[in-house]
Amino acid sequence: MTPHIFTLPGWQGSGAQHWQIRWANLFGDQVVEQHDWMQPLRGDWITRLEDAVQNQLSQNPNQNIAFVAHSLGCHLLASWAALSPHVKHVAGALLVAPPDTARADFPPQMHSWRKPVLNKVSFLTTLVASSDDPFSSLSASEMLAQHWGANLINIGARGHINAESGLGDWPVGRALLQALIQSTFQQTSLH
């Protein structure tokens, strides 16, 4: 069964030219809308995500779900995964360009995210990082991947892996997501 895919944009949301929104338009991924994109409070964002997941699962209790998170959306997913009873439905997550929340220049509007959740997630995860992300060093991305139990992929110099990175529809990223989901289903069919 094809999982329902939730898109988790980061701080300030993802604009129309961002690959996340392009995927939502091309493939029907559901963008989890936040009440406040400019002053992101961790508890509020987790609640919005839990509500979206719960709503989807109430319509189809046996549905698998997957996530495509960018930037602060990666930290949202890690925070949600540490709390939600619905993690058993997750077929995988593609985490792209999570920011380093320990940086001295981390925006004050995101103060509630300063301390990251570093628990290992219970589902297959791929973390895609760039070697020249202005919001995270590669070593910080490696540290997050290790804590979250994610497979790390360094795609080279692609900035924050957003609309400014010139990725368009980013077919390589979509292929990574599909491979991740396929791996999950292959593993579960073996048990």
Tell me, rounded to whole angstroms, the distance of Cα 126 from its chain centroid: 9
Tell me the CATH number at 175. Answer: 3.40.50.1820
CB neighbour list of residue 1: distance below 8 Å, 6 or more residues apart? 62, 63, 64
What is the chain's pLDDT, residue by residue, as a tens digit (191 residues)?
689 999 999 999 999 999 999 999 999 999 999 999 999 999 999 999 999 999 999 999 999 999 999 999 999 999 999 999 999 999 999 999 999 999 999 999 999 999 999 999 999 999 999 999 999 999 999 999 999 999 999 999 999 999 999 999 999 999 999 999 999 888 765 44
Residues 180, 182, 188, 191, Cα dihedral to 10°:
-110
Cα distances (Å, whole numbers) of residue 177 to 39, 124, 182, 187: 29, 11, 9, 16
Cβ count near 71 (within 10 Å)? 25
Predicted local confidence at residue 1, as pLDDT: 66
pTM of structure: 0.96
**Pairwise CA distance, residues 191 & 99, whole Å:** 36
Predicted local confidence at residue 185, as pLDDT: 84
Domain count, the chain: 1
Q: What domain range is 178 assigned to?
A: 4-190
* CA-wise closest residue to 110 among 102, 121, 118: 102
**Pairwise CA distance, residues 65 & 17, whole Å:** 24
Predicted local confidence at residue 187, as pLDDT: 78
